[in-house]
Amino acid sequence: MNKVKSLVGYINFRITVFLLLFGIFTFSCKKSNDPAPASTPQITNINPDSAEVGKVITVSITNFSSTENNTFTFTNISNSAITGTVITMIDHSPVTIVVPSTLTAGRYNLTLNNASQTSAAVVFKVISAAVIVNGAVITGFSPDTVSMNQTLTITGTNFLNNVDSLTINGVKQNITSLTANTIVLSVLPKTFTGKIIIYKGGSPSPFDKNVAYKETYSSTQFSTYGKADRISIDNSGNIYLITYNAVIKLSSAGALIDTLVKQDTTTFEDICARANGDILVSGQTRGTIFKIAGKNQLTVLYSFKKSADIFLTESSNKELFFSTSTDGEVYRLKDNGTISAFTSNLFEIAGIASDAHNFVYVTNKYSFSLSKFDASIINDTNPTELAHYSTIDYGGIGVHSKGGMIYICQNHRITKIVNYSTWALITGLSDTFYNDMAFTPSGDMVVCSGSKAYLLRITIN
pLDDT in tens, 398-426: 999 888 899 998 888 898 988 777 788 89
Q: What is the mean pLDDT of the chain?
A: 84
Q: Which of 238-242, 267-271, 328-332 has maximum average pLDDT?
A: 238-242
Q: Where are the domains of the chain?
A: 42-126, 137-213, 217-460
Q: Is 137-213 in the same CATH topology as 42-126? A: yes
What is the predicted pLDDT for the residue at 132? 56
Pairwise CA distance, residues 70 & 64, whole Å = 7
For the cut 50, the answer to whether the pLDDT of residue 27 exceeds it is no
* Position 41 confidence tier, pLDDT thresholds 50, 70, 90: confident
CATH class for domain 137-213? Answer: mainly beta
DSSP code string of 10-26: HHHHHHHHHHHHHHHHH
pLDDT grade for 91, boundaries at 50, 70 and 90: confident
Give me the mean pLDDT over the 86-90 stretch.
Answer: 81
Please give the full DSSP string across 244-311, using - where no structure is assigned. Answer: TTEEEEE-TTS-EEEEEEE-SS--EEEEEE-TTS-EEEEETTTTEEEEEEETTEEEEEEE-SS---EE
Q: Which of 191, 198, 195 has the alpha carbon at shortest distance from 175? A: 198
CA–CA gap between residue 164 and residue 181 (Å, rounded): 15
Q: Give the mean pLDDT of 336-364.
A: 85
Nearest Cα neighbor of 334 from 342, 326, 325 is 342
Return the higher-pLDDT residue of 255 and 347.
255
**How would residue 395 be classed by pLDDT, with cut points 50, 70 and 90?**
low
DSSP-derived pairing of the beta strands 455-460 and 217-222: antiparallel
pLDDT at 433 over 50: yes
The pTM of the full predicted model, rounded to 2 decimals, is 0.71
Confidence category of residue 393, pLDDT binned at 50, 70, 90: low
| Structure confidence at residue 219 as a pLDDT band (50, 70, 90) | very high
Name the residue among 276, 313, 292 with its Cα closest to residue 401: 313
- Taking the CB of residue 169, how many other CB atoms lie within 10 A of it? 19
Average of per-residue pLDDT across 221-232: 91
Residue 133: its pLDDT value, please?
Answer: 55
Check: CATH 2.60.40.10 for 42-126? yes
What is the percent of the chain where pLDDT is above 90? Answer: 40
In whole angstroms, give the CA distance from residue 387 to residue 401. 19
pLDDT tens for 68-87 read 778 899 999 988 888 888 88
- Residue 351, pLDDT > 80, answer yes
Span 43-49, average pLDDT: 86
What does the pLDDT read at residue 173?
A: 95
- pLDDT above 50 for 32: no
Q: Which of 125-134, 198-207, 298-307 has the highest mean pLDDT?
A: 298-307
Mean pLDDT of 215-238: 93
Interval 51-61 mean pLDDT = 86
Range in 189-193, 202-206, 224-228, 279-283 with the lowest mean pLDDT? 202-206
Question: What confidence score (pLDDT) does residue 19 get?
Answer: 44
Q: Are 383 and 373 in contact (CB under 8 A)?
A: yes
Residue range 217-460, CATH number? 2.120.10.30
- Listed residue (210, 218, 219, 246) closest to 230, CA to CA: 246
Question: What average pLDDT does range 35-56 have in this prediction?
Answer: 77
The pLDDT score that the predictor gives to residue 24 is 38
pLDDT value, residue 2: 40
How many angstroms separate the Cα of 159 from the Cα of each of 68, 146, 211?
A: 50, 22, 19
pLDDT of residue 134: 59
Average pLDDT over residues 200-227: 87
The pLDDT value given to residue 290: 94
Predicted pLDDT at 4: 39
Please check the confidence at residue 327 and state whether its pLDDT lies above 90.
no
